Each structure stands twice: as C-alpha cells, then as structure tokens.
Structure 1
Amino acid sequence: MIDFWLAAGLLLLVALSFLLIPVLRSRRAQLEEDRTALNVALYQERVAELQVQQQEGVLDAAQMDAGRAEAARELLADTEGVAAPRVTRLGKAAPLLAAILVPVLGLGLYLHFGASDKVELTREFAQAPQSMEQMTRRLERAVAAQPDSAEALYFLGRTYMTQDRPADAAKIFERTVNLAGRQPELLGQWAQAQYFADGKKWSDKVQALTDEALKADPKEVTSLGLLGIAAFEGQRYQEAIDYWNRLLEQLPPDDQSRIALQGGITRASEKLVASGGKVAQAPAAKPAALLKVRVDLAADLKAKVQPGDSVFIFARATSGPPAPLAAKRLTVADLPATVELGDGDAMMPQLKLSNFPEVQLVARISRAGQPTAGEWIGRSQPLASSTTAPQQVTIDSPDK
C-alpha cells in the first residue's frame, strides 16, 4: 500500500498547486497595487509642494507647469507595466480554505467509498499463504470486502469443513446458495455441512437438500457419499452399498478416494452378512465404449495443408451436449493414422461415450490449433457407441 499512498500524495500536491498558485499570484498583484498607490500619493504631495511655492512667489506659472509635468512623467514611469487591479469576490480566505478542505474531503470520501481493503487483499492473495489459518483469515476478509461474491463464500465454506467447523460452513453454504442459486453441488455441500454440524444426526432439512440435489443431478457426488454415510450409521447397509457404488461409478479411475470408498463398501458388506443379510448384486455396468477410427486426408487437399497443421479427432453425441465426448490430437504429418476413442478419453467424467447410445466421429484440421474451428473437416455417419468395427473418416470438406 505504500506505493499507492505515494501516488495519492503526488496527485494531492498537483491538485493543491492549482489552488495555491492563484493565491500567490494575488499576493504579488496586491504588492503591485500597494506600490502604485504609494506613487500616486507621492505625486499628489509633490504637486501640493509646487502650489505652495507658487503662492509664496518662489515659482512662476511656467515653472509651476514644468514641475507638474515632471512629477507626472515620474508617476507614469513608476506605474508603467503594472497590470490593472483584479476584482475578486471570493476573498483571500476562500482559496486557502479550499486547499485545506479538498484533500480532507477527498480522503474521507475514499476511505468511505474506496476499495483500499480490496487492493490490500489482492496483494495478499498474490503471495502463497504460510498456513491454513492465514488462508482462512484471507478468505474471511475477502468475504467481508465482497459479501456478494459466491465464489469467495464457496471457498470459505470448503475451508471451514477442512478445519472441522461444519456449523460455520453450513451458514456460509446457505449464503452461497442464496447468491448463486440452488445448484446441485452447492446443495450437496450445504447438506454435508449441516449433517456434521448436527452431530451426524439425519434431519428433514438434510434429507430435503439431498433429495433436491439428486433430483437435479442424479450423479451429484457429495449427496451420494453423504446418503451412504447416513445409511451406514443407521445400519442400513444395503442402502449404503448402493449409494457408494453409484458414487464409485462417477469417480475417475485414478481418484485417490476410490480406495477409501471401496473400503467402506467392503465394511458395509461384512456387517450386512454378519447381521444375517445378503448383499444384493449390483446391476452389471455398461461395457466401456471403444471406437477405432482411421483418419485420412483427401487427395485434393494434400497440397493445401502443412505438415504442422493440427488435426483434432473427436466423438460427439448425435443427441446430447455439443461438447466432445472423447478427443485426440495429431498433426497432418501423422496422417493417415488410426486412433482409439474410449471412455478413458472422456473430456468430463459424466460425459462418457458409453453414456450415449449414438455418436458421430469428426476429424478437423485447424492451422491455428483451435479444436472448435478450422479449415477442413470430415464426418462419419451416426453410429452406435458400442460399435467395435473399425471406422473410416476422410477429411475432404471445407469447415464452415
């Protein structure tokens, strides 16, 4: 903040100069006016002396006129170059008063309406925190400075959960939902915080939050995990197994939490068997989709492309989100080439090839390296995502 206040001080000096320079100029003009008045008084005194000398007979009429003319020339010489007196209605105190009030008023307005706290926060966040407590304090200050920032509230709520402060987290997530809307992920986070804040006691409020979250998104991971925990604590082991299996399907293969989740499913299964129950077999998962596609370039385009041009090969749902389900990147120099597109290449875990019955294969050449726009393109006919036969895509058309 030091550099900020230095810059503010320099700007203040510039502003004061516009107020103080006229005051100094007025003082100089006052001195010139006082000197002119003195010269006029001396002229009048000289003329009076000449008149007395004429009355006493010392000077005749011609000498009287010569003396008066000489005094007038001296007066003219002394006052030559003096500007005409300026008339002001502000008075001498007004500029000085303004010079004092302007910086005081400006500082007061800045401290009230300004954003010095946000500037300081920006500087702090540019440096890595030294501890979790320091990060928490920064987030609390960010929320205080920007109470309408849903993002700041969300991160503060997550931080409270890592510090085992679920009651504080529940209040923060409630504010986040009020600001950002009733998004499934936020509802799940709120329900989880509320559950632990209530001492791991299931309540109608928590049930309503998880129901709303899963109704909007049946794959909302926090709600699935929370319902599994609640079912396990309530000795409803089969429900816990079902919820956790659904959650397991949403996690990436390399997610570290899969080990702990699988351990929970194993413990629930053991307790269910120990109580005389039988673990219901989970429905068979859909086989992973894997499409093989050979990409080539039309003969009439080979002279128009460059070896370093990017080639994007992707599959997208014929009826569904426009985002690619799986993608690979090559260059023109690699063509012709055969690639595989499968669930492991999914751009997002919830958008897998196997989740959509019909897809289309697309290959695009982009000289600028942009996957969404290029110069030439090739498309396949719609095909089932379970197709195992190799497919052919030829890039042969302008990309419009």
Structure 2
Amino acid sequence: MIDFWIGAGLLLLAALAFLLLPLLRGRGVQAEEDRTALNVALYQERLGELATQQAAGTLEPEQFEAGRADAARELLDDTEGSTSRRSNHLGLAVPLIAAILMPLLGYGLYLHWGASDKLQLAREFTEQPATMEEMVGRLERAVKAQPESAEAWYFLAKTYMSRERPADAAAAYQQVVKLAGRQPELLGQLAQALYFAGDRKWSEQLQQLTDEALRGDPDEVTSLGLLGIAAYEEERFADAIAFWERLVSTLAAEDPSREAIQGGIARAREQLGEPASASVAEPAGEMIAETGAGLTVEVQLAAEMVDKVRPSDAVFVFARALSGPPMPLAVKRLTVADLPATVNLSDADAMTPQLRLSNFDQVRLFARISKDGDATRGEWQGSSEPLATRDSDGITLTIDQPVTP
C-alpha cells in the first residue's frame, strides 16, 4: 500500500500548488501596487508645488502647464509596462483555509467512496496462503469488503464446509442464494449445509429446499445424494435406492464417486434382503470385510493433558480424505477413561454408505476430545500425517494440541 499513499501524496502536493502559487504571486502584485500608489502620490505632490508657485506669482501660466505636463509624463514612464491592476482577489485567509481543508476533505471522501481494502485484498489473493486459516480470513475480509459479490460468498461457503463449519457455511450459502437467485445447485448445497449443521436431522425446511431444487433440475446431484442419505439413516432403504440410482444415472462413467454410490445402493439392497444388482455389486475380491480390514491406530493422551480433561469426556477417532469431501469417512467414539486404546477404522464405521474409507487412497487420522460430545468441535486433538489407507501398521495418535477454530 505504500506506493498508493506515495501517489496520493504527490497528487495532494500538486493540488496544494494550485492554491499556494497564487499567494506567492500575490506578493509581487502587491509590491507593484504599492509602487504605483507612491508614484501617484509624488505626482499629486508635484502638482501641489506648481499650484503654490503659481499662486505666489513666481510661475507664469505657460510655465505651470509645462511643469504639469512634465509631471504627468514622468508618472506615465514609471507605470508603463506595470502588470498591476486592481483585483477583487479573496485575500490570504481563504486560500490558506482551503489548503488546510483540502487534505482532510480528500481523506474523508476516500474513506467513504475509496477501495483501499479491496486493493489490499486483490494483492493478497495473488499470493498463495500459508494455511487454510489464512485462506478463510482472506475470504471473510473479501465478503466484508464486497458484500454484494455472490462469488465471494460462494467460495467462503465452500471453504467453511471443507473446514467442518456447516453452520457458517449455511449462513454463507443463504447470502449466495439471496444475491444469485434460487438456483437448484445452490439450494441443494444450502440444504446439505443445514443438514450437517442440524446434527443430521431431517426437517421440513430441508424437504422444501430439495423439492424446489429438483423441480428446477431433476438431476441436481447434491439434493439426490442428500435425500438418499436421509432415507438410508431413517431406514427407508427403498427410497434411498431410488434416489441414489437417479444420482448414478446422471454421473459420467469415469466419475470417481460412482463406485461409492453403487456401494451404498448394494448395502441398502442387503438391508431389504435383496441380492445386490449386478450393475452395482462390487467384485467380491475388492470388498473389505466390515470387521477386520482398515486402519488400526493406537490412541493415547499426552501426560500434560491428564489434568485438563475428565474421564467422561468423549473421544472421537475419525479419518478424513486428504482430497475429497470434508465429512469424516469413518468414526468411532470412546471416552477419555478408555485411553490408551487401539481402534480399528473400516468401512463398517462409515458415516454414510457412499463415503467409505476404501474408496480413497490417502487420508488423515484425528483423535478429538469434546466435552459436550459434539464431534464437529472440541477442545483437544491429535492428528496424523497423510497416509495411505492400506498403511495399517504403526499408527499412533497422541492427543496433545488445542483444537483451532
């Protein structure tokens, strides 16, 4: 920003020059006027002397006229070429006051109509953020500086979802819908954020949002996936199959999420006692047993944390895809009293049937302590480095760090 203020300062100096230079010129004009006034006074004094001499009888009328002509000629010679003239300038006070008020007025107008905050943000976005928290901060400042930008609100909402802040994401999506209109895709994503912000409980509001989204676009993928999840968790397996089959039919053959959705359909059919369809069933050799294969992790509490937690506090051990949705892929719940403990995370611990641990190559593991039992927020946690889902040996999580917002 320093180059901006340097430029503004130079422009201000130029503006002040227009005000102050006439004052400097005014001094010369005043000196010229004083000289002219002196010449006129001397001319009048000379005429007075000639009149006195004529009255005393020492000058003849012809001599008097000749002397007055000489005095007039001298006056003309002294004032010839002079640029002085009577002017109606405002004096010194008004320009000086204007010179003082101009910077203050310009600064105030810039604060009201200027955009230094937007300029600074534009420069920040040309640099790669060091952390996700820094990226969130930039987007929050962006929507503050440009509250009318639907695009800025949309990116902020997506980032909130990736940071497991569904309530904040829902508020941001509401702003997007307000600015960009009730587009089916936005309504589906708003419903998804509200669903996870409301502890995964279905409501009339969510039903209305998804219904409106599907009326606008019968193939709106977020709404179809969300309706399938809600139906499955309410054990309405036939409805879940119907929604997910509609979703699969809209996806491209190479879409990586097809396999996860087809796996969910197969599990829903198993719950209904139906054989898995050949089109959605997974090859037996590729299936992971729900009670064995997966990631085995040793969870322990750092010694310095013992006095900061209670034995009854909840401990959530979960895996999150390194590149994928923000929702955990597999979760198990313990208490502090259970630690240290050995935990196995597998597809049996999946939160949703279409998001399974075996569908992703790399994950990160977390162990989080939450006093109020809410897995989306907590007080202390430990995390692993990115690891392959088949690396099931020697994984240890030590809970020793505060949870950052």
**Contact 1:248–1:258 (CA under 8 A) maintained in structure 2:** yes
Residues of 2 paired with 1:282 and 1:101: CA distance? Answer: 82
Residues of 2 paired with 1:187 and 1:145: CA distance? Answer: 25
Give the aligned residue type for 1:176: V
1:241 aligns with 2:237: no
- The equivalent of 2:274 in structure 1 is 278
Residues of 1 paired with 2:131 and 2:139: CA distance? Answer: 13
- The equivalent of 1:102 in structure 2 is 102
- The equivalent of 1:256 in structure 2 is 256
1:216 aligns with 2:216: yes
**Contact 2:266–2:276 (CA under 8 A) maintained in structure 1:** no
Residues of 1 paired with 2:53 and 2:277: CA distance? Answer: 139
| 1:126-168 Cα distance to aligned partner (Å, 9 max, x none) | 3332222222222222212222222221111111111111111
* 1:95-174 correspondence to structure 2 within 5 Å: 95-174=95-174
Structure 2 SS opposite 1:201: coil
Q: Which runs of 5+ in 2 are unaligned?
A: 281-405
Counterparts in 2 of 1:260 and 1:20: CA distance versus 1, 3 Å? same
Residues of 1 paired with 2:177 and 2:64: CA distance? Answer: 102
Structure 2 SS opposite 1:213: helix
Normalized against structure 2, the TM-score is what? 0.61
Give the aligned residue type for 2:244: W
- 1:110 Cα shift? 1.9
- 1:89 Cα shift? 5.7
Structure 2 SS opposite 1:85: coil
- The equivalent of 1:29 in structure 2 is 29
Residues of 2 paired with 1:228 and 1:279: CA distance? Answer: 19
- The equivalent of 1:187 in structure 2 is 187
| 1:26-53 Cα distance to aligned partner (Å, 9 max, x none) | 3321110011112222344455556667
* 1:1-400 correspondence to structure 2 within 5 Å: 1-48=1-48, 60-61=59-60, 69-88=69-88, 90-270=90-270, 272=271, 277-279=273-275, 281=277
- The equivalent of 1:311 in structure 2 is none
| 1:221-270 Cα distance to aligned partner (Å, 9 max, x none) | 10111112112222233333332232222223333333433443344444
Give the aligned residue type for 1:231: A
Residues of 1 paired with 2:92 and 2:118: CA distance? Answer: 41
Structure 2 SS opposite 1:252: coil
**Contact 2:266–2:277 (CA under 8 A) maintained in structure 1:** no
| 1:16-71 Cα distance to aligned partner (Å, 9 max, x none) | 333333333333211100111122223444555566677889x6547766665554
Report the aligned-residue RMSD. Answer: 3.0
Residues of 1 paired with 2:59 and 2:182: CA distance? Answer: 111
Residues of 1 paired with 2:239 and 2:279: CA distance? Answer: 14
Normalized against structure 1, the TM-score is what? 0.61
Give the aligned residue type for 2:24: L
Structure 1 SS opposite 2:6: helix
Residues of 2 paired with 1:27 and 1:181: CA distance? Answer: 65
Structure 2 SS opposite 1:122: helix
Residues of 2 paired with 1:243 and 1:15: CA distance? Answer: 68
Q: How many residues align?
A: 279
Instruction: Give the fraction of aligned pairs with identical amino acids, expressed as a percent.
Output: 63
